[in-house]
Amino acid sequence: MLGIDWTDCRVQSVAGNEDHLADLHLSVDRTSGGVTSQIAGELRTAVREGRLSPGARLPASRDLARDLGVSRGVVVEAYERLVAEGFLISRVGSGTRVAPAAGTRPRAQEAISDQPYYGERATTPDLTSFPRERWMAALRHALATMPNEAFDYPDPGGVPELRRELAAYLRRVRAADAEPEDVIVAGGVAQGLSMVVRLLANDAGGHVRLAVEDPTTNRQVPLLTTAGARLVHVPVDEEGIDVAALARSGARYVLLTPAHQYPTGVVLSPGRRAELMAWAAARGAIVLEDDYDAEFRFDRDPVGCLQGLDPRHVALCGSVSKPLAPGLRLGWIVAPPQLSARLRQARADLDLGSPVIEQYALAHVIRSGQYDRHLRRMRREYRRRRDAFVTALATHLPELKVRGVAAGLHVYVELPPGLREETVAEVARIAGITAEAVGPMRGAGPGDEAAVVVGFAKLPAHRAEPAVRCLAEGLHTGP
C-alpha cells in the first residue's frame, strides 16, 4: 500500500488570501483495482472529517497523479465524480475546490448500542423462549408457497391469509366479533394505536381528547401526544377504570387495558364492563382496547375482549410481542366497521403496509396450530415463574403487598411507608430483577401509595429465590 503524506501540497483557504499547509493523508492500493473509487473515497472522507474544509483548493490533477503514481485521467475522473456529487466545485482559472456547502458530518449525540432501545421492562417476555426453529420453518414455508404476485406491494391492510387467520383466532380465543375485512395488520400495538388516534384527531381538527388509565405506562405518552391526543387521566381502582369519572372527563375516546390493567394488574370487573359499554353507546364513543398480554391468564380462561361486546364502539389492538417477541413488530387492529376502511387507507398513506414474508409466516404458524401450542407451553412456564417469584417475595419480603398475580408477565408490588420506589427499582436491578417505579406512571403525580411493577417472565423458577433473597438483603442494608 502506498501512503502519501500531503505535507508538501499547498492548499489555499477561502477565508483569506494566505496559503496554509494541510496535513492530509491519502492511502491508495494500486494493486487492488478501483483506484478511481479509492481516491474519490479518500477525498470524500477528508471533506466529511474536516481535514479538507469548505473552499480549500485541491492540488492540480497532474500534480496529484504524479504524487500517487497513477495516470492523470484517474485523478480527473475522481475529481469529476466528486463534483457531480456536490463535494467539489471546479472552475477554469481557479482550480478544484471543496464546495462551500460541504462540511463535516454532525456527530451523533449517542453512540449506537447493542442494548435494547427501551432497556429492561417489566412486561418483557422470555426472549430465550422464542421458537427460532419453528419460525425459520414458517419463513421457509412462506417462501416456498407464496405466489409470485405476493412479492409485490401488499394490501396495506395486511395480506388476506393473515387477516383471515387472525380473525378466526381472535373469535376463538378472545371471543372477538372479528371479520377479516375489519382486521388491519400493523407494526405492533404502538403503530396501531398511533394510526387510530391520528385518524380521530384529524377528524376533530388536529387534536382529540383521549382518556387514559391512571396509572398507565408512560412509554405510550409521547406516541399518543404526537398523534394528536390530549390526555385526560382517569383513576383505576380494584375493579378497573372508574367509569363515572370517565363520564365526567368529557372525553369521547378512552384507551384501556381491561384484560390485565397495566401496571396494577386489575381485571376490569363485569359491572364496569357493562357501565363502560353503556357509556360508549350513549356517547358515541370509541374504546381503544390494548390487549397486550391477555393470553396469559393463569387462574382460568382469559376474559373475553370488550370488542366482542360491541364491535361498533371498540377497536381491539393486539400483537405477538408478548406471546412471541417484540422484535417481530407484528400486530393488528380490529376496527369498528366505520373506521376499518379508513384505517386501511391510512396505512397505505403511511408506508404501504407491513413486510409480506413475515405475515405469511405468522399465518402459517397460527393455521398449523403451532401458535396455540407455543402459548400453552409458555403459559405453564410463566405460571411456574410467577409462583416461584411470589413465594420468594412472601418468604423474604413479607412486608410487601403483591397484587395483579392472576395474569400477565408482571406483578404490582405495594411498598411499606418509608421505602422509596426508586430505591427498590435500583436494588432490584442489581439483584437481576426488572422493576419500575409506578410514580412516573401516575397522571396526578406520585401520590401517597408507593409501588413498583416487577416483571417475572425473564426469571426462571430456580433463580427466583436467590434473586429475591439478594433483593431483600439489599433493601435491608441499603443500595
Domain boundary among 98, 114, 140: 98
pLDDT exceeds 90 at position 147: yes
How many Å apart are CA 245 and CA 477, to the nearest integer?
A: 42
pLDDT exceeds 60 at position 19: no
* CA 243 and chain centroid, separation: 30
Q: Is 173 in the same domain as 89? A: no
Place of cell 463534483: 83
**83 belongs to a structural domain:** yes
How many Å apart are CA 210 and CA 231, to the nearest integer?
A: 5
Q: Determine the 3-state secondary structure of 410 from DSSP.
A: strand
Over residues 52-63, the mean pLDDT reads 89
Over residues 348-368, the mean pLDDT reads 95
The lowest-confidence range among 89-93, 340-344, 351-355, 457-461 is 89-93
How many Å apart are CA 384 and CA 30, to the nearest integer?
A: 64
**103 belongs to a structural domain:** no
User: Positive or negative CA dihedral for 183, 186, 189, 190?
Assistant: negative
Q: Is 210 in the same domain as 160? A: yes
Q: How high is the pLDDT of residue 102?
A: 76
What CATH number should be reported for the domain holding residue 315?
3.40.640.10
| pLDDT, greater one: 331 or 302 | 331
pLDDT exceeds 80 at position 325: yes
**17 belongs to a structural domain:** yes
Domain boundary among 372, 393, 418: 372
**113 belongs to a structural domain:** no
Q: Is 314 in the same domain as 362? A: yes
**115 belongs to a structural domain:** no
How many Å apart are CA 423 and CA 413, to the nearest integer?
A: 14
pLDDT exceeds 70 at position 215: yes
pLDDT exceeds 50 at position 23: no
**263 belongs to a structural domain:** yes
The lowest-confidence range among 9-13, 84-88, 239-243, 322-326 is 9-13
**424 belongs to a structural domain:** yes
Q: How high is the pLDDT of residue 171?
A: 97
Q: Is 200 in the same domain as 297? A: yes
Over residues 271-295, the mean pLDDT reads 95
Q: Is 273 in the same domain as 170? A: yes
Q: How high is the pLDDT of residue 459?
A: 95
pLDDT in tens, 226-278: 999 999 999 999 999 999 999 999 999 999 999 999 999 999 999 999 999 99
User: Over pLDDT 90: what percentage of the chain?
Assistant: 73
pLDDT exceeds 60 at position 2: no
Place of cell 364513543: 285
What CATH number should be reported for the domain holding residue 81?
1.10.10.10
How many Å apart are CA 260 and CA 406, to the nearest integer?
A: 9
Q: How high is the pLDDT of residue 119?
A: 63
pLDDT exceeds 90 at position 95: no
Q: Is 247 in the same domain as 341? A: yes
Q: Is 43 in the same domain as 175? A: no
Q: How high is the pLDDT of residue 92?
A: 82
Q: How high is the pLDDT of residue 109?
A: 62
pLDDT exceeds 80 at position 444: no
Domain count, the chain: 3
**Helix 132-145 vs helix 356-367: crossing angle, to nearest 10:** 110
Q: How high is the pLDDT of residue 448?
A: 63
* CA 304 and chain centroid, separation: 26
pLDDT exceeds 80 at position 478: no
pLDDT exceeds 70 at position 289: yes
Domain boundary among 343, 372, 401: 372
Query: Which three three-digit cell numbers place residue 408?
Result: 400477565
Q: With beta carbons less than 8 A apart as the criterion, state whether 408 and 260 touch.
A: yes
The lowest-confidence range among 96-110, 176-190, 314-328 is 96-110
Q: Is 329 in the same domain as 438? A: no
Q: How high is the pLDDT of residue 15?
A: 36
Element housing 95 (H / E): strand 95-98
Q: Determine the 3-state secondary structure of 7 from DSSP.
A: helix
Q: How high is the pLDDT of residue 331?
A: 97
Q: How crowded is residue 123: how many other Cβ atoms within 10 Å of its Cβ?
A: 22
The residue type at 86: G
Q: Is 394 in the same domain as 432? A: yes
**119 belongs to a structural domain:** no
Q: Is 355 in the same domain as 390? A: no
pLDDT exceeds 70 at position 111: no
Reduced DSSP (H G I as helix, E B as strand, rest coil) percent helix, strand, coil of the chain, to 5? 45, 15, 40
Over residues 43-71, the mean pLDDT reads 89
| pLDDT, greater one: 4 or 184 | 184
- Give strand pairing partners of 411: 454
Range of the domain at 39: 2-98
Question: Over the chain, what is the mean pLDDT?
Answer: 89
pLDDT exceeds 80 at position 104: no
How does DSSP classify residue 57?
A: B
Tell me the residue ranges of DSSP E strands in 158-271: 183-186, 208-214, 229-237, 240-241, 253-256
Q: Is 360 in the same domain as 435? A: no
**Helix 72-85 vs helix 61-68: crossing angle, to nearest 10:** 120
Band of pLDDT at residue 479, cut at 50, 70 and 90: low
What CATH number should be reported for the domain holding residue 422?
3.90.1150.10
pLDDT exceeds 90 at position 447: no
How does DSSP classify residue 266?
A: P
Q: Is 79 in the same domain as 212? A: no
How does DSSP classify residue 267?
A: P
How many Å apart are CA 424 and CA 415, to the nearest integer?
A: 9
Band of pLDDT at residue 106, cut at 50, 70 and 90: low
